[in-house]
Chains A and B, each alone.
Chain A
Amino acid sequence: DAGVTQSPTHLIKTRGQQVTLRCSPKSGHDTVSWYQQALGQGPQFIFQYYEEEERQRGNFPDRFSGHQFPNYSSELNVNALLLGDSALYLCASRRSGKTEAFFGQGTRLTVV
């Protein structure tokens, strides 16, 4: 049983560019959340998707957007990249109604 998988694992982008990160949830999970983890800090909630809709959003600007597909996989898009967007981006999945969340290995984004 594959766990949560994310792609790519590493990415380098130039300031002002746009990026798309991808996540496949653990089998049987239908809810996907995205987190940003800056160096030396705990993960910060970006948003959550369930039934292909954004259900809750953290304190992140509209440059951060997402999508969930019918197979429950998800994408995180970030437009107009800033140097401060450099971080480890984590995807977590869970079964609706359950609190346990399982994380992928993350995508390390570096903005230069």
Chain B
Amino acid sequence: TQLLEQSPQFLSIQEGENLTVYCNSSSVFSSLQWYRQEPGEGPVLLVTVVTGGEVKKLKRLTFQFGDARKDSSLHITAAQPGDTGLYLCAGAQPDSSYKLIFGSGTRLLVRP
């Protein structure tokens, strides 16, 4: 059974601080996707990383896929209150289904 462990589960930081969220597994994924979810709404896709070692930047967010395609990280620079939300990583199963295996999420609170 493929599992994705996400850490930390909860993070409360001051505006302007940096943070990193980790997503780890013992399984290989064909790609890894990061989502952000607001309460009562569906996850919104932030980025998809496909190649081992790949790094993608989205403004102040930097996403990295591990060389072995088993882990990923999300780094936020100079966090802002608007970054508050639930961040989910999801690995796509390496077969034609591309079924997503989700981590349990990191709830981020950025205090003004």
Instruction: Give chain A's interface residues, CB within 8 Å of chain B.
Output: 4, 6, 33, 35, 41-45, 48, 55-56, 58, 88, 90, 92, 94, 98-106, 108
Contacts and interface: CB of A to CB of B under 8 A. Distances in A.
Highest count of chain B CB atoms <10 Å: which of A43, A55, A58: A43
Contacts of A35: 100, 102
A76 to B, nearest CB: 14
A100 B6 CA distance: 20
B43 interface: yes
A105 B42 contact: yes
B88 interface: yes
A33 B102 CA distance: 14
Describe A's contact surface by its main secondary structure.
strand
A83 B81 CA distance: 36
Contacts, number: 67
Contacts of A33: 99-100
Given A43-B90, A103-B35, A103-B44, 17 more contacts: A33-B99, A33-B100, A35-B102, A41-B105, A43-B100, A44-B102, A55-B97, A90-B42, A90-B43, A94-B98, A99-B48, A99-B92, A101-B98, A102-B45, A103-B42, A103-B45, A105-B41
Interface in B64-101: 88, 90, 92, 97-101
Contacts of B92: 99, 101
A45 B104 contact: no
Contact of B101 (A45, A48, A88, A103): A45
